Structure 1
Amino acid sequence: MFFSWPTDWNNNTAVIEHDRKLTYAQLQELVEQYKEQLGNGRQLVLLVVHNNVQSVAIYLACLQSQHVVLMVDASLDAPKRAKLCDAYQPNWIVDEYGLHKQHAAQHLLDERVAVLLSTSGSTGSPKQVALSVENLQANAQGIASGLPIAQSDITITTLSMAYSYGLSVINSHLQCGASILLNEHSVMSREFWQALEQHKVSSFAGVPYSYEMLIRLGLCKKKLADLRYFTQAGGKLAKKYVQQLADFANAQNKQFFVMYGQTEATARMAINAEPEHYPESIGYAIEGGAFLLIDEQGHSISQNHIEGQLVYQGPNVMLGYAQSVVDLAHFEPASQLVTGDLAYRDEQGRYFISGRQARFIKPFGNRISLDDVEIWLQQQGVDGLATGDNDELWVGVCESSHLELTDLKNKLQQQLNLHPSKIKIFSIDAIPLTSSGKTDYPAFKQLISEVSG
C-alpha cells in the first residue's frame, strides 16, 4: 500500500521540506505521533492542506487509522471554511496552528470512505467526492505502472495536495519508495527553480495554464540536467504547446506524458506516452481501467472515429458524492463513471477528447461548442474564454490581447454563422483561475454577469 511501506525503504528519503529531510522510517515515526493525538475510533478530520510535512503526515495518519480526512486547500477563506465545518461537523480540524478537537459526536461513516476531495476549486461548495482506500491504491498503482517512477526519483509538488492531481503525485511516489520535495512556490517563481536545481528534481507535474506560462518564460530553452520526465493533466493543453513540450523533451532526452483525469476517478485515468506523434490524444486508460464510448441512447459505440460520450470503468471510480456529514453514512458506488466528455478513438485504441457535453449552446437551434470557440480564439492569437446559454454566446477577451472587440465579433459571427445580436464580447483583466490553476468558469460567469449588468 502507498501509505504502508516495506521496511527495506526505511532509509530512503521520503519527504523534503526546505532543508528538512525525513526518511520513510522517520516519516512513519511522525505519523505514529499524529495517530496517537487523533486517538482511536473512526473520526472525521478536516485537514487544512499545505504542501508540507505536517499535512503529509496527518493525511497518512488518517489513512492508517481509518479516519476520514476532508482535504481543504489552505487558500480557502475563513467564511467558506466555516460553511464546510457546518456541513460536515468534523471531529478534528488540523491547520497550521496544530490539531484542534471539535465535535465529540461519533458520526455514522460508511466503512469504505477514506478521503473527501472537492471539485469546485476555491468556491467552498460543500459537494465532495468520496474516495475509498481501494480507489486511492488502485490509482497509485495505475500511475506507478504507467510512469517511469523509480525509488531514486525526486519529484516536486507544483499543485496542492487538496487537488486530486497533486494528491495523486504524492500517492504514486510513495507507492514507489521515491522522494517528494514539498514546495508551495509557484512554478513561475525563482524559488521554485532554485529548489528544483538544488535538490536535483527528476520529475514535475503541471496543468495547462502553468505550462503555457512556462513556455512563454523560456522553459524549452532551459538545460535541466536532472529532469527525467514531466507530466501534464488538469485540462486540455493546446496542440501547439503539447508539440513544443514534446520537442523539448525529445531534444533533451527526456519524457513528456500527457494525462487525463477527473477527481471522480481519484485522479488520472489515461496516459499518452507519445505526445510528439499524437499531440491531441489522451492515450490509453491506466492499468486496471478501461474506456468505452456510448451514443445518445446509451448504446456502446464499437466503430472507430465515431464521437460519443466517454465512460470510464475501473477500481479507482469514486464511491459517490456528499453534501454533508449525513451523506457519509452509506454509498452505492456506480460501476462506471460517465465523464461528461465527448471523445472518439482511433484504430489503435487511442482516445481523443473532442468536447465537453455540457459545453454546448444552441442559439437558434445551432449547436455551438464553447471549447471550439476558445480554440478559434487561440488561433486568432487571443486569450479569452467562452460561455453562454441557448440564447446568447458570451466571450471574455483579456485586455492584453490588444484586439479591437468589434473586429473580433465580426470575425466570430462569420465563423459561426451566427446573428451578431447573439454574440456578446467583453473585455476582462485576466482569465480567472482556481487554486489548482484550472479555468474558473463559475467566476468567469459571475464576471460576465457583472459586466453585462
Structure 2
Amino acid sequence: MSASLVHDFDWIARQLPDAPALSWHGGVWTYAQLRRAVGCMQGRLRELPPGARVALLVRNSPHYVASYFGVIAAGCVAVPLNVQERASVLSRQIEHAGCDAVIADPLHQEWGALTAAIGATVPLVVTLDLQPGPAGCDAFCAALTGEAATEPELTLLERQVEAPAMMIYTSGTTSRPKGVLLSNGNLVANARAIAAYLQITPTDKVLCGLPFHFSYGSSVLNSNLISGAQLLLEDNFAFPQQTLKKMQDEGVTGFPGVPSTFALLLGRCQLSDFDLSKLRYLTQAGGSMPRAQIEKLRQQLPHTQVFIMYGQTEATARLSYLAPEHLEAKLGSVGMPLPGVEIEVRSEGKVVATGEIGEICARGPNVMLGYWREPELTSQVLRDGWLHTGDLGHVDSEGFLYIDGRAVEMIKVGAFRVSPQEVEEVLATFPGVQEVAVTGVADEVLGQSIKAVIVLREGAPADLRGIKAHCRQHLASYKVPKIVEFAAALPRTSSGKVQRFKLA
C-alpha cells in the first residue's frame, strides 16, 4: 500500500493550482509553484538511495517547505534541524543521523563552523538562496536544475506506509541524540486527523510562527497543505501588535500557538482592539496553559473556537484534543483521543481506575517507528504495541483526559524542550564550578524558565556575568539559565541522586 504526504499534497495542488499556498515576506507561492519547486528538489536528490537521510538547515520559508516535501517525494527521510542551534550540536545530529545530504541556507550564522565540522563526511550539500518575493520560486528552481533544458516534474513514487519519511530530534541533544523516526503512514494519519477535527478547507488562511523543525509546527504545515489552505509564515512574535494587525488585515482564520505565545499576546495587547472577526479558531499545544489565560482568550475572542491539544513528537504530534464545545465544562482537560488513537492511563502495567493518576499510554497509526539507532530506548518506550509517554494523567468518568505532570525531567521553555543535562554539561566546563544542577521553574510567559544551582570550588569567585556569557557562547538563547544561584551543596537522596524538585 502506498501513501505519503506528497500524494495528498499533489492531489490538492492539481485541484487548486492558482490558489495561494504560502505567503512570506510580501511574496506568495501558489500551489502550482510549490508543486513545481517540490519536483525540482526531488530531481536534485534523484541519485540518493531510498531511505537516505537528508538534513534541513533552513528557517521557516517556502524554500524549507519545498525542500521538505521534495525530500519525502524523493523517497528519502527529512531530518529538520533547529536553526537556533550551535554548530557543535548540529554536526552531532548530522553525524548521528548518518545524513547522505544537507540542504542549507549558507547565510545561517553557524554555516561556516558547521561545514568545517562535518568536512567531507556528507556526500551531497545543497545550498539555497532564500530569495523573497514573486521571483523566489523561479530562483529556487533555477539553482536546482542548473543548465538543464527542462525542469523535472513531480513524480509520485510508490512508498510503503511503514517506510520512514521524517526524523525529528526531540531535545537539544547531549552526547546521545534522540531522533524520533516517523513513517509515511504516521505523517499522513496525523495530518488527516488534525485537518478533519479543525475542519480545514481551502478558504482558510492560517498564520504560523511555530518552527517547522518541531512536531507542532510540522503538523500545522502538513495538515494545512494537504487541505488547500493558505499558510502565512511569521518569523517571530516579538512585536505582538504587528502580528495582530497582520491577522486583522489578512483576514486570518486560524492561529496556532504555545502557552507563551498567548501569554505574550494577552499581556501586551487587548485582542478586542483588533478586528479578528474572521478568526475561526485557535489551537494550543506544547504544554499546559493556565485556566485563567484560556478564560481571557474566550472573553476577548468570544466568536473564536479554542482547541486545547495534547501530544508529543513520538506520536507524530497529536494524541488528543478538547473540542471547543466542551471547553467550559471540561476546562483543564486535554480532551479525547483522535479517531483511530487509543489512550489508557496505567500504573504497574494495569489500567488505573477513573480519577486515579498513572502514566499515559497510547497506540494508533501516528505512533513512531522508534528512536533512530536506539533499540534499547525504543523497547523501553514502545512496549506491547503501546507508546509509554512518560506523562502522568487521569481520566474522568466521561473519558476526558487530564495531564497531572511529567514523569521525565525535560524543561518546557515556550515551544522548546530543554534537557537539563545539556545545560549542566556546559556549566560544568566553566572554571571554578564543582557541581551544578538544572531545573525548570514556573514562568508566567514561557511556562517554564531554566534555573541553575551551582556549587563552586573552594576559593572560586561567584562570577555570574562570566557564567551567563559562557552559556550564551555554547547554548542556544532559550537554553541559557534565567536564574543562577550559588549553594554550598546540592540536595540529594541517600543514593546520591540530585533531588531536582528541591532546586525550584
Shift of 1:57: 0.3
Q: Which residue of 1 aligns with 2:227?
A: 176
Q: Which residue of 1 aligns with 2:431?
A: none
Shift of 1:97: 3.0
User: How many Å separate the matches in 1 of 2:240 and 2:97?
Assistant: 36
Select the residue among 54, 72, 76 that pairs with 2:85: 76
Q: Which residue of 2 aligns with 1:366?
A: none
| 1:50 equivalenced with 2:59 (yes/no) | yes
Q: Equivalent residue of 1:268, what SS?
A: coil
Q: Equivalent residue of 2:311, what SS?
A: strand
Q: Which residue of 1 aligns with 2:214?
A: 163
User: How many Å separate the matches in 1 of 2:444 and 2:243?
Assistant: 28
What is the percentage of aligned positions where both structures have the same residue? Answer: 28
Q: Which residue of 2 aligns with 1:3?
A: 6
User: How many Å separate the matches in 2 of 1:208 and 1:180?
Assistant: 21
User: How many Å separate the matches in 2 of 1:102 and 1:222?
Assistant: 54
Q: Which residue of 1 aligns with 2:186?
A: 135
Select the residue among 311, 314, 326 that pairs with 1:264: 314
Q: Equivalent residue of 1:267, what SS?
A: coil
User: How many Å separate the matches in 2 of 1:125 and 1:175?
Assistant: 34
Following superposition of structure 1 onto structure 2, how do residues 396-415 of structure 1 map, counting pairs within 5 Å?
none
| 1:244 equivalenced with 2:251 (yes/no) | no
Shift of 1:335: 2.1
Shift of 1:220: 3.7
Q: Equivalent residue of 2:319, what SS?
A: strand
Change (3 A) 1:31 1:233: same
Q: Give the CA RMSD over aligned residues.
A: 4.0
Q: Which residue of 2 aligns with 1:33?
A: 40
Q: Which residue of 1 aligns with 2:75?
A: 66
Change (3 A) 1:292 1:53: same
**Structure 2 counterpart of 1:267, one-letter code:** A
Change (3 A) 1:235 1:26: same
Select the residue among 364, 375, 379 that pairs with 1:314: 364
Q: Equivalent residue of 1:73, what SS?
A: coil
Change (3 A) 1:304 1:59: same
Contact 2:272 2:301 in 1 (8 A): no
**Structure 2 counterpart of 1:90, one-letter code:** C
Shift of 1:395: 8.0
Render the CA deviation track for 1:316-341: whole Å, top value 9, x for unaligned: 0011112589x99xx99962211111
Contact 1:160 1:166 in 2 (8 A): yes
| 1:147 equivalenced with 2:198 (yes/no) | yes
| 1:216 equivalenced with 2:223 (yes/no) | no
User: How many Å separate the matches in 2 of 1:143 and 1:451?
Assistant: 50
Q: Which residue of 2 aligns with 1:103?
A: 122
TM-score by length of 1: 0.74
Change (3 A) 1:257 1:31: same
**Structure 1 counterpart of 2:44, one-letter code:** Q
Change (3 A) 1:394 1:342: closer
**Structure 1 counterpart of 2:6, one-letter code:** F
Contact 1:292 1:312 in 2 (8 A): yes
Shift of 1:230: 0.7
User: Where in structure 2 are there 5+ consecutive unaligned residues?
Assistant: 125-160, 413-419, 422-436, 446-463, 491-504
Render the CA deviation track for 1:68-116: whole Å, top value 9, x for unaligned: 11110211122221222232332211111399996349xxxx9722111
Shift of 1:172: 0.6
Shift of 1:227: 1.3
Change (3 A) 1:336 1:451: farther
Q: Which residue of 2 aligns with 1:413?
A: none
User: How many Å separate the matches in 1 of 2:273 and 2:399?
Assistant: 35
User: How many Å separate the matches in 2 of 1:117 and 1:249?
Assistant: 34
Contact 1:84 1:124 in 2 (8 A): no
Contact 1:114 1:132 in 2 (8 A): yes
User: How many Å separate the matches in 1 of 2:246 and 2:215?
Assistant: 23
Q: Equivalent residue of 1:167, what SS?
A: helix
| 1:19 equivalenced with 2:26 (yes/no) | yes
User: How many Å separate the matches in 1 of 2:63 and 2:169?
Assistant: 20
| 1:355 equivalenced with 2:358 (yes/no) | no
Following superposition of structure 1 onto structure 2, how do residues 369-384 of structure 1 map, counting pairs within 5 Å?
none
Does 219-228 or 34-43 show the bigger shift? 219-228
User: How many Å separate the matches in 1 of 2:184 and 2:235?
Assistant: 26
Following superposition of structure 1 onto structure 2, how do residues 385-424 of structure 1 map, counting pairs within 5 Å?
none
Render the CA deviation track for 1:280-324: whole Å, top value 9, x for unaligned: 0000111211211112x21123x3222221111111001111258
Change (3 A) 1:231 1:102: same
Q: Which residue of 1 aligns with 2:338?
A: 286
User: How many Å separate the matches in 1 of 2:487 and 2:235?
Assistant: 33
Contact 1:200 1:226 in 2 (8 A): yes
**Structure 2 counterpart of 1:165, one-letter code:** Y
| 1:91 equivalenced with 2:142 (yes/no) | no
User: How many Å separate the matches in 2 of 1:237 and 1:60?
Assistant: 32
User: How many Å separate the matches in 1 of 2:195 and 2:211?
Assistant: 20
Following superposition of structure 1 onto structure 2, how do residues 182-221 of structure 1 map, counting pairs within 5 Å?
182-186=233-237, 188-221=239-272
Change (3 A) 1:397 1:182: closer
Contact 2:240 2:264 in 1 (8 A): no
Contact 1:47 1:94 in 2 (8 A): yes
User: How many Å separate the matches in 2 of 1:294 and 1:240?
Assistant: 30
Render the CA deviation track for 1:33-64: whole Å, top value 9, x for unaligned: 11111123222211013110110001001111
Shift of 1:175: 2.1
Contact 2:5 2:184 in 1 (8 A): no
User: How many Å separate the matches in 2 of 1:200 and 1:299?
Assistant: 49
User: How many Å separate the matches in 2 of 1:56 and 1:171?
Assistant: 10
Alignment length, in residue pairs? 382
Contact 1:243 1:275 in 2 (8 A): no
Change (3 A) 1:80 1:349: same
Contact 1:14 1:22 in 2 (8 A): yes
Change (3 A) 1:398 1:10: closer
